[in-house]
Amino acid sequence: MKYEPVIGMEVHVELSTKSKVFCGCSTNFHAPANSNVCPVCLGMPGVLPVINKRAVEMSVMVGLALNCTISRWSKMDRKNYFYPDLAKNYQISQYDLPLCHDGFIDIKANGTSKRIGITRAHLEEDTARNTHTIGGGDSGVDFNRCGVTLLEIVTEPDIRGAEEAFAYLTELKQLLRYLDVSDCNMEEGSLRAEANISIRPTGTESFGTKTEVKNVASFSGIQKAIEFEIARQAKLIDEGGKVVQETRGWDADRGITFSQRAKESAHDYRYFPDPDLVPIVVDEAWEGRIRESLPELPQARRARFESGYGLSAYDAGVLTAEKEMADYYEAVVKQGCAPKQAANWLSVELQALLTEHKQELTASKVTADRLAAMLKLIEDGTISGKIAKEVLLDMFESGKEPKAIVEEKNLVQISDTSAIESAAREVIAANPGPVAEFRSGKEKTFGFLVGQLMKATKGKANPQMANEVLRKVLKETE
Amino acid sequence: MSNDWYKKTAHEIRDAVRAKKVTALEVTESHLARIEDVDGKVKAFTDVWADAARNQAKAVDARIKNGEDVGVLAGVPIGLKDVFCTKRGTTTCCSKILKGYRSPFDGTAVERLQNAGAVFLGKLNMDEFAMGSSTENSSVQITRNPWNLDCVPGGSSGGSAAAIAADECAITLGSDTGGSIRQPAACVGCVGIKPTYGRISRYGLVAFASSLDQIGPFTKDVEDTAIALNVMCGRDPKDSTSADLAVPDFTKSLKADVSGLRIGLPKEYYTDALNAEMREKIMDAVKVLERQGAKVVEVSLPHTDYAIAVYYIICTAEASANLARFDGVRYGYRAPGVGSTQELYTRTKTDGYGPEVRRRIMLGTYVLSSGYYDAYYLKAQKVRSLIRKDFTDAFEKCDVVLTPTSPTAAFKIGEKSANPLEMYLSDIYTISVNLAGIPGLSMPCGLVASGLPAGIQIMAKPFDEETILRVAYTYEQKRGFEMGTPTAVK
Amino acid sequence: MAKITKADVEYVAGLAQLTLDEATKEKLVGEMGDILAYMDKLNELNTDGIEPTMHVLEMSNVFREDEVQPSLDREAALANAPKTDGEYFLVPKILDTGDE
Ligand SMILES: [Mg+2]
Ligand SMILES: [Zn+2]
């Protein structure tokens, strides 16, 4: 039978508040185990939580960017379950009144645009980390992560395949990075995605039994896990079996999902409003201030790059994929450089160097100012595009100003007709054979002679002038 | 020099210490000696910090010698219910599950007392996790009523109440979730107040039921209550539910004048359930206030009958979550030889809690569980709104509501422990105050025939502790008798 | 409301992570049954349209600024731990996954 996958995603993203959501502990990821902890996040007796205002603001920012309605009135609830990574054995979360609800995000998959509904985005606290590598058969618990600000973003079951899931995650991550509310580092666990996957015969409306795939370390892993899970469920049903509602893990090495929860305990979380925390009221004025503080979002920026700078959709997409790249690009263009030339040098030439040296754009010695200065040297004819590649590499390695490099290496383009002319005469004198060939009608040999001329001028001759002057001298000496 | 400083009130001690008529150390020694004498009988203390108290007293004396400002509780010996987090000693809530637990911090109320010059004598007995009305549910010991050692001192702050009645401390600190300060104060004949919810920061108070818990002092007289409130009240950024309101100088309320004040007597409290002798004592007190110009009006709190049901749903539900953290992972008791996390939890919790705590966790878990939330928890929170409205309406007609604190005087040890529901029902007069979040004070109004104290409860609008103190002070000045030293510790 | 059964007691004990012996279970069936039956008196009241009281004080938006405060020293954090290796809190090997 042919099946249609029905997928909803839950993404937990750590918001980059400096301190935790209910206490003043640092959120620094790289601290030694159990050093960013205090009585509050350790759930010691007698402590009380106090909400980090920035955590609320960042949540609302994400909600607005996801076109959500922001709850005027919301509250924090206790979600009760027992687990060693949960200091209080309840998680402070939001149950029936999330901060943000009923939004959407537009994604592009299979070449078309598609709208994915956002059910809700709610504020909660992260859990501790368990390590299983401790000797003696024990597990160790590190509470540094416990209490870090977490936003849970839940979609409608609108996703229809692994590719769409991948596109959703990519789009969401881009948005979060633009908002500068999370580093979205999956390896460090600051973004964690789970997929609820079911299938149904194509053309039917009811939902099948879903499985929840968790603990996948990358977007591509999620895509593969979803593909695997869709195929597994289809095979199971085709063979007369039944999908069991369960949590499944992803074994990246073997490329399979596997049943994870040994015993499917009943989820009876006994949610109730946390009496230690008072309601959160986001009035119109506050929402307005947060909305005003939002940066331009990726889709808007992409469109502006196309219309404003005359870039192709492809170039605009590449340049806006990362906020840092887009900011860099605009800094270059702002200096008066031609938008298309800037796009090309940034997304092709500099990007190639960055990729080769595994370097971040923001860490590069080629600052936007320096790249702009170099582009201006090309535009005013001081250097050729070919020479510019050499200058770029030098800048990339040394961090010197392009002008200094050009002067130091004497790379200024020769645009003096008489100098090029005398070099042309020398080339003609030194290459009687090729000159004769050219004169007998072999136009191809002209390229060779130009090459010789460039060689003689150490590449500095203005290429256009070299062409013209060589033809002129060849004619004169015929 | 007198060696009976232990009999004195906090303000008498403070004044004498500041005037250098006595040293803080001498006062502390006097109390330590008193504890030595009587605590073997009363069993109020679970931990006496004799050396630390002496050092604290010496530090106060040194500051006085240097002419420094030593605060309004200079040299006043204070005992703390073991529900308060203290860096010194252990903080156990008298539960096996927290045996030996050392808090890394001092709670806000404790910190403020210390900054006011108090000297801490140690930790006081309580019902395990403040769950009880008799202090019989302590894993450590049973505290006795200083008026009759066969009787309970009330609870859950029984140790704090008994320590004041037996002159072991000048002030003690308690917590009140459903009457745990006022009922024991009534049982032992001292003053105890539960301030308005939000008046005193709960930071450092081990939570029982977070929406009901409040900290309050036990004192020998009303003036000391005012002083203690002055020290402890006020906004604390560590407690989101602490009220951001200016704190008045409560000692300014200590005027023996109630002329024109309207005293409301809720008809639902003066029913047949109220012991006749107790009613007589209350009415005597009312007459004293009437003679001072107060007017008596009948008021109605029509939902009183539902308060116990509401209370035991809300407090057990909140407690079931608050106590979940005691799991043997980060601190406290861990059952030996556990092989899995599941076993770690179940064996630790089952061994670590006493039967009353387990019962309440079970009840609280049940009323929150799937399918019962609306029927119990949500329903209770709605009825709680009705109970609050009862008080709002009543305070349209009167300035204070006056009731008995407890339907009977202190009962015998063991008398009610077999029937938890009966024990719960004895909280009838105190729990509405917690549900409504309003302030309530209990003070003695004489002895009943059996020689045990009777208590009168004064309630007022939220944040109107001032009127309560004025009424209490007037009654205390004009009642015409002294409670004296309890018979069993004379 | 129906009286509580032994199965209810067992279910709730499971949620609360308590292991009760048979005698305790039987006792709790009776005690909880009595108390819950008493609580059913709330059903006498019509509470349609009544807002639940979640907080007696009408406060909202009590926040802290996003500022880092000192944490505990690790030694202090682990000081009360029943089992630790000096870095981690130790528990018997965790097999399944938690939740978020
Ligand atoms: Mg979550
Ligand atoms: Zn912390």
Contact B325 A87 (CB under 8 A): yes
CB contact under 8 A, A12 and C97: no
Q: Quick one: average pLDDT of C85-97?
A: 88
- B454 located within any domain: no
Supply the pLDDT for residue B468: 98
Q: How far apart are CA B405 and CA B189, in angstroms?
A: 11
Q: Do residues B142 and B17 both lie within one domain? A: yes
Question: CB–CB of C74 and A51 under 8 A?
Answer: no
Span of A128-137, A188-197, A210-219 with lowest mean pLDDT = A128-137
Domain limit, last residue, from A408, A426, A450: A408
Please provide the DSSP assignment of A174-188 as one string.
Answer: HHHHHHTS----TTT
- Mean pLDDT, range A429-442, rounded to an integer: 88
ipTM, interface predicted TM-score of the complex: 0.97
Same domain for A104 and A205, yes or no, is yes
Residue B457, classed as helix, strand or coil, is strand
Note whether B101 and B33 are same-domain residues: yes
B330–A90: do the CB atoms touch at under 8 Å? no
| Domain boundary pick from B322, B351, B379 | B379
Q: Quick one: pLDDT at residue B1?
A: 46
Stretch B19-32: mean pLDDT: 97
End position of a domain, from candidates A391, A408, A425:
A408
Size of interface B-C (CB pairs under 8 A): 160
DSSP notation for B17-35: HHTTSS-HHHHHHHHHHHH
Average pLDDT, rounded, for chain A: 93
pLDDT tens for residues A337-384?
999 999 999 999 999 999 999 999 999 999 999 999 999 999 888 888
Please give the model's pTM, rounded to 2 decimal places.
0.92
Residue A136 banded pLDDT, cuts 50, 70, 90 = confident
Supply A234's token pair. Answer: 């289809």
Residue showing tokens 């009408």: C58
- A40 Cα: distance to centroid of ligand 2 (angstroms): 5
- Determine the pLDDT at residue B422: 84
Structural domain count, chain B: 2
B160-177 tens-digit pLDDT: 999 999 999 999 999 999
Q: At what angle do helices B50-65 and B10-18 cross, to 10 degrees?
A: 50
pLDDT in tens, B322-360: 999 999 999 999 999 999 999 999 999 999 999 999 999
Residue B219's CB is within 10 A of a number of other CB atoms, namely: 27
Domain identity same for B42 and B166: yes
Looking at the predicted structure, is the pLDDT value of residue C5 above 80?
A: yes
Residue A456: the pLDDT is 85
Q: What are chain B's partners, defined as 3 or more CB pairs within 8 angstroms?
A: A, C
> Which of B379, B395, B417 represents a domain boundary (last residue)?
B379
> What is the model's pLDDT at position A387?
86
CB-proximal residues (5 Å) to ion ligand 2: A 23, 25, 38, 40-41
Beta bridge partners of A6: A198
Please determine, for residue A104, whether its predicted confidence score (pLDDT) is greater than 70: yes
Q: State whether C60 and A34 contact (CB < 8 Å).
A: no
Is B270 within a domain?
Answer: no
Q: Pick the residue with more confidence: A470 or C60?
A: C60
- Please say if the pLDDT value at position B294 is more than 50: yes
Using the mean position of ligand 1's atoms as its centre, give its distance from the Cα of residue A152 in Å. 6
Total Cβ atoms within 10 A of residue B305: 14
Q: Using one digit for the tens of pLDDT, what is the confidence trace for C67-83?
A: 999 999 999 999 999 99
Co-location of A164 and A307 in the same domain: no
In a domain, B466, yes or no: no
- Together in a domain, A421 and A403: no
Q: Could you please report the per-residue DSSP string of B105-116?
A: S--HHHHHHHHT
For B242, the domain range is 5-257+472-489
Residues A349 and A468 in one domain: no
Which chain A residue shows the shortest CA-CA distance from B378? Answer: A272
Question: Distance (Å) from the C-alpha of residue C39 to the closest C-alpha of chain A?
Answer: 19
DSSP letters, A190-224, are: SEEEEEEEEEEETT--S----EEE----SHHHHHH
> Do both B204 and B104 map to the same domain?
yes
> What number is the average pLDDT over the span A276-302?
96
Q: Does residue A256 share a domain with residue A162?
A: yes
- Do residues A74 and A138 share a domain? yes
pLDDT at C13 over 70: yes
Q: What is the pLDDT at residue A266? A: 61
- d(CA A101, CA A117) in angstroms, rounded, equals 10
Nearest Cα to Cα of residue B68 among B115, B131, B10, B33: B115
From A459-468, B54-63, C16-25, the region with the lowest mean pLDDT: A459-468
pLDDT value of position C97: 63
| Candidates C54, C62, C77; nearest CB to A37 | C77
How confident is the model over B402-458, as pLDDT tens digits? 999 999 999 999 999 888 888 888 889 999 999 999 999 999 999 999 999 999 999
Residue B422 lies in a domain: no
Confirm whether A292 is domain-assigned: no
Listed range (A153-157, A414-418, B33-37) with the worst mean pLDDT: A414-418
Q: What is the pLDDT of residue B2?
A: 53
Residues 6+ apart with CB under 8 A from A25: A19, A36, A37, A38, A40, A41, A144, A147, C68, C69, C71
Shared domain check, B205 and B90 = yes
Asked if residue A400 and residue A472 are part of one domain, the reply reads: no
Residue B44: inside a domain = yes
Range of the domain at A114: 3-286
**CATH, residue B10:** 3.90.1300.10
In a domain, B293, yes or no: no
Return all residues near B430 (Cβ < 8 A) that are at least 6 apart. Answer: B176, B178, B179, B182, B183, B405, B406, B440, B457
Same domain, B81 and B137: yes
Same domain, A378 and A449: no
Q: Is the pLDDT of residue A258 over 90?
A: yes
Q: Which of A48-62, A135-149, B73-87 has the lowest mean pLDDT?
A: A135-149
Do residues B151 and B135 lie in contact, with contact meaning Cβ atoms separated by under 8 Å? Answer: no
**In this structure, is residue B407 part of a structural domain?**
no
B335 and B236 fall within a common domain: no
**pLDDT at residue C1 is higher than 50:** no
B115: left (phi over 0), alpha (psi -120 to 50) or beta: alpha
pLDDT per position as a tens digit, A34-71: 999 999 999 999 999 999 999 999 999 999 999 999 99
Averaged pLDDT, A76-100: 97
Residues B366, B367, B368, B373, CA torsion sign? positive
Tell me which ligand sits closest to the C-alpha of residue A94.
Answer: 1
- On whether both B239 and B341 belong to a single domain, the answer is no
Closest by CA position to B199, among listed B441, B446, B453, B485: B441
Average pLDDT of the residues in A400-416: 85
CA of C59 to the centre of ligand 1 (A): 26
| Residue B484 and residue B363 share a domain | no
Task: Pick the residue from chain A with its C-alpha nearest to B85.
Answer: A46
Looking at A286, A307, A322, the residue that finishes a domain is A286
Residue B103 has phi, psi (to 5 degrees) of -75, 140
Q: State in Å: Cα A79 to ligand 1 middle.
A: 9
**CB atoms B421 and C38 under 8 Å:** yes
Per-residue pLDDT at B424: 87
Q: Are B406 and C74 in contact (CB under 8 A)?
A: no
Burial (CB < 10 A; 0-12, 13-18, 19+), residue B314, is buried
Q: Is residue B344 part of a domain?
A: yes
Of the two residues A267 and A323, the one the predictor is more confident about is A323
Cα–Cα distance, B216 to B229 (Å, whole number): 8
Residue B320 and residue B234 share a domain: no
Residue from the list A26, A33, A278 with its beta carbon closest to the beta carbon of C87 = A33
CA distance B87 to chain A (A): 12
Q: Count of domains in chain A?
A: 3
Q: Which residues of B are catalytic?
A: 81, 156, 180
Which among B349, B379, B409 is the end of a domain? B379
pLDDT at A51: 98
Residues A108 and A27 in one domain: yes
Q: How far is CA B160 from CA B11, B200, B217, in A?
A: 18, 18, 9
Res A271 pLDDT > 80: yes
| A247 & A388 share domain | no
What does the alpha-carbon distance between residue B319 and residue B431 come to, in Å, rounded to a whole number? 16
Are A107 and A65 found together in one domain?
yes
Q: Is the same domain home to A404 and A425? A: no
Looking at chain B, the whole-number percentage of residues with pLDDT higher than 90 is 96
